[in-house]
Structure 1
Amino acid sequence: MKLFSNPPPFPCLSFSQAGSSLSFTVNSALPSAPYHGLICHLKRLTFRFLLTSPGYTQTRTPQKLADLFCYFLPRTMAQVNTCLKRVFTIFNILFAIVGGVIIGLALLSQVITNINGGQNVEGRMSGLIVLYVVGIVTMMIAILGAYGAHKESKVCLIIFLVCMVIGSLLMLRTGVPVAITRPQLEGMLEERFRNYLPLDKAEYEVRDMADTLQTQLHCCGMFSYKDWENNIPDSCLCSPAEMEEDKCQTIDYNSYMMQEKSIYTKTCFPIIMHYVLLLVDIVIGIAFALAVLALLGMILSSIMIYQMRYPDRPTILMSVPTIFTTAPPKYQELHNPPPY
């Protein structure tokens, strides 16, 4: 018996009958997500029609097989490679860890600067805000990517891809100029610090910052103790223990009164420059590391989105046997009636 005179022309599903077998042919080259509900609904209507047709009796076998068909359909037509999903999930975990490390560095920098009295350092607050924002945004993007991979959500993965593109451009926009200007940084800072000389005649904020640096770094003057002219502060003076370690030098403080002072030998600018270059190297490293991670995230998310849009899988042929038996007639002619 032919089940369908005109089978419905669905692009993802076709029917065929061979003997007592009803075959569903699923074209998995098409996106399966929009059609999965349609296939299951059509299956139920088909079996309901068959089981309620005149001349046939219902059996449980077709319905059970139909339920198996609908249960295994999304797994048979899985769109994203399992190994790729695991790699992408691990990548997002590492990405979230990087964001947590950035937030931790921001907290550590804030605590250290508060302890050392650096609350008034120029650009401190803006730098901490940038670190906090970068860390939080990195963790949020990582969570979004992991969720999109786990749920195979194309929308989440597209948003993740856009964030990766923007993030990589921002990191390159930050890292490349800093790397280019790094060789000229020492000359630029030297010129700026020399504008503050002489230190004893500079503004109060500059003198206070210089005193704090000299106390913490055990140095005197930016380029020489003569930066203070004849008003050398107590922050330049050495302790007796430091004098024994050859960290100090004796100078004539007042030539008229023949006064001498023991001050630090080192100047502050080379020490400041060392830490500035170290900080710049860290910024360059973080910027390029995040750019590389963003590029890797772009590649992985693009592959997953491509697999969702164009799954490369063979056509799936599933057969469900239609087991129906002819119902006995309501009336049957008696050829040999019994005698009365």
Structure 2
Amino acid sequence: MAQINICLKHIFTVFNIFFMVVGGVVILLALWCQFFMNIQGGYNLEGHATKLFIVYIIGFITMMIAVLGAYGAHKESKVALIMFLVFMFTGCLLMLMTGIPAASSYPQVKGRMEERFHKFVPLDKSRKDVRNMAVDIQKQFHCCGLFSYKDWENIPESCVCSQEEEKEGKCQTLRKNLYQILTRQRKSVYTKTCFPTIMDHIQFTNKINIVVSFTLAILALLGVILSSIMVYHLYRFNSHTMMILTRPPKYNEMCKPPPY
């Protein structure tokens, strides 16, 4: 005999299937972001590789919790449903603790990053990993310097335009010293700077983190509500069954001696 309303079981099963799909989408998003980062040179900005690893873990855990919930509903297992409820409640709190600070600090990210990247100028005198990152970004996105070509004291080859790009109007001509001016030597470098491209990448990753956090928080809250109703139904059914089993039979009442 079914202990839980069949309609509620179907709703809960559909919810867990959708929840499992969401977990798979989260993993695919992380894969796509990693592929996007590898195409752009494989550099790691602000620990985004670590954040992507966390997103992988979140997607995997989401799928496992969905399997647990579907099993609990199918078998009408009180233990599995209570575990699902605890995981969902904990996950909802964690996602809110992650998403709310990320969303509130999102408008200030650009200012903080700009202040931080200004400390790397001049790029020639910065750390080797910063110089390599700047050169890789310049090669990938055809830009020069973080905020200006003047971020380099000695402009690297990764800033220099090709003749085709000069014709397309993507470059600016420099004559840095008297010798170059007198000999009419010139160097064409990219007009576009690299910091806007870096910020686009950082903000894109932050948006994904915020969307994933709030989406999973809402789904976890819905899962808490549905699993709470199912656990309540199980306890109510068990209590009703115990009352029936402990109630004395009707014939015992008929056989009682009359009171004096």
TM-score tier by shorter-chain length is 0.7 to 0.9
Q: Give the equivalent residue in structure 2 for 1:249.
A: 172
Deviation at 1:227, TM superposition (A): 0.4
Partner of 2:218: 292
Letter in 1 for 2:15: F
User: Which residue does 1:274 correspond to in 2?
Assistant: 200
1:130 to 48, 54, 71: 54
Higher relative contact order (CA 8 A, sep 6+): 1
Given the alignment, which residue of 242, 254, 265 partners 2:191? 265
- Residue 234 of structure 1 and its aligned partner are, at CA, apart by 1.0
Q: Deviations along 1:267-302, whole A, 9 cap, x unmatched? A: 111121122222211211110000000001011101
Give the TM-score normalised by structure 2: 0.85
Other-structure match for 1:54: none
**Alpha carbon RMSD of aligned pairs, Å?**
2.1
1:302 matched to which residue of 2? Answer: 228
Find the partner of 1:152 among 71, 76, 80: 76
**Inter-partner Cα distance in structure 2 for 1:183 and 1:120:** 21
- For residues 170 and 180 of structure 2, the distance between their equivalents in structure 1, rounded to whole angstroms, comes to 25
Question: Structure 1 residue 121: deviation in Å?
Answer: 5.2
Q: Does 1:101 align with 2:25?
A: yes
Compare 298-307 and 242-251 and name the one that shifted more: 242-251
Give the counterpart letter for 1:244 in structure 2. K
Contact 2:138 2:144 in 1 (8 A): yes
Where 2:175 maps in the other structure, the secondary structure is strand
Match for 2:21: what amino acid?
I
- Cα deviation for residue 112 of structure 1 reads 4.0
3-state SS of paired residue (1:179): helix
More strand by share: 1
Partner SS, residue 196 of structure 1: coil
Instruction: Give the TM-score taking structure 1 as reference length.
Output: 0.66
Residues 114-169 of structure 1, C-alpha deviations (whole Å, 9 max, x = no match): 44431565524422321221111111000000000111111100000000011000
- The AA in structure 2 aligned to 1:288 is F
Unaligned runs of 5+ in 2: 245-260
Go from structure 1 to structure 2 and tell me whether the alpha carbon gap of 1:138 and 1:156 turns closer, same or farther (over 3 Å shift): same
- Which stretch of the first structure deviates more once superposed, 298-307 or 112-121? 112-121
Contact 1:254–1:260 (Cα < 8 Å) also in 2? no
Q: Which 4+ stretches in 1 moved above 4 angstroms?
A: 119-122
What CA deviation, in whole Å up to 9, does each residue of 1:6-65 have, x standing for no partner?
A: xxxxxxxxxxxxxxxxxxxxxxxxxxxxxxxxxxxxxxxxxxxxxxxxxxxxxxxxxxxx
Equivalent residue in structure 1 for 2:132, among 208, 217, 221: 208
* CA-CA distance at 1:256 after TM superposition: 3.3
The answer as to 2:95 corresponding to 1:171 is yes
Structure number with greater Rg is 1
The secondary structure found in structure 2 opposite 1:253 is coil
| Higher deviation after alignment, 218-227 or 96-105 | 96-105
> What secondary structure, in the 3-state scheme, does the structure 1 residue paired with 2:187 have?
strand
In 2 relative to 1, CA 255–152 (structure 1 residues): closer, same or farther, beyond 3 Å? farther
Higher helix share: 2
Alignment partners' CA distance in 1, 2:42 and 2:158: 16
> Aligned letter for 2:22?
V
Which of 78, 85, 90 matches 2:9? 85
Q: Matched residues in 2 for 1:280 and 1:116: separation? A: 17
- For residue 22 of structure 1, what is the aligned residue in structure 2? none
Instruction: State the secondary structure of the residue aligned to 1:138.
Output: helix
- Count of matched residue positions in the alignment of Structure 1 and Structure 2: 239
The residue aligned with 2:143 is: 219
Q: Which position in structure 1 is the counterpart of 2:257?
A: none
